[in-house]
Homo-oligomer: A and B are copies of this chain.
């Protein structure tokens, strides 16, 4: 957070405005360096948006017009099957990206829903803005490549785990790999994310706690 003793109201306002991009800048700087000018330019490509808990960013059947960067709060993406059961694909917290890559890329209607699990502050990037951004700040090409690389590695791990591990092992791996999720997410959503039933997760957690 940008803090300090502020003498003038006008300065307060400017800092407040800048804060909307704080997590983004930190995130980008971690992977590639950006000058102050580039940061100024970068923010012009994003549309700030607040989302109340339970509000949708994307609904099944719509085209995913935005990639969303989470400045604050928490999103989830999920599909709904024929039986009406929700299957959570991903969560996204502060500093994470969310969006249906496929729909965003191809312009086809999305199979996913994305909504807010907490009141959230997002930075939205349209396809057009993305293209312009990559053109004006070619460095960002690299940023997105590294981002995708990490995302891919994470999902590969999840896939491997989902294919060869028991429910309990999957749960333990998740707790280890990303302790934030079990802390902030209701248990039945966690179960959905792991591809198991809430009942199974409840029992499995009980077993773990009994054993120690």
B155 near A101 with CB under 8 A, answer no
Closest to A159 in B: B159
Residues 130-170 of chain A, each 1 if its beta carbon lies under 8 Å from chain B, else 0: 00001000100110110011011101101110111000000
A155 near B159 with CB under 8 A, answer yes
Known: A81-B164, A160-B89, A162-B195. A105 touches B149 (CB 8 A): yes
CB distance from A151 to the nearest CB of B (A): 6
Which residues from chain B contact A141 at a C-beta distance below 8 Å?
A: 138, 141-142, 145
A87 near B163 with CB under 8 A, answer yes
A187 contacts B by Cβ under 8 Å: no
Partner of A164 from the list B153, B164, B195 (CB cut-off 8 Å) is: B195
Count A-side interface residues using an 8 Å CB cutoff: 28
- A57 to B160: give the CA distance in the assembly, Å: 20
Which residues from chain B contact A151 at a C-beta distance below 8 Å?
A: 152
Copies held by the complex: 2
Partner of A149 from the list B89, B148, B194 (CB cut-off 8 Å) is: B148
Known: A89-B156, A138-B138. A149 touches B101 (CB 8 A): yes
CB distance from A162 to the nearest CB of B (A): 5
B164 near A163 with CB under 8 A, answer no
A102 contacts B by Cβ under 8 Å: yes
CB distance from A81 to the nearest CB of B (A): 6
A79 contacts B by Cβ under 8 Å: yes
Partner of A148 from the list B152, B162, B163 (CB cut-off 8 Å) is: B152
Interface CB pairs A-B, < 8 A, 11: A79-B164, A87-B164, A89-B156, A101-B152, A101-B153, A145-B145, A148-B148, A148-B149, A155-B156, A155-B159, A162-B195
* Residues of A that sit less than 8 Å from B by CB: 79, 81, 87, 89, 101-102, 105, 134, 138, 141-142, 144-145, 148-149, 151-153, 155-156, 158-160, 162-164, 194-195
Which 3 interchain pairs have the tightest Cβ spacing? A163-B195, A148-B148, A145-B145
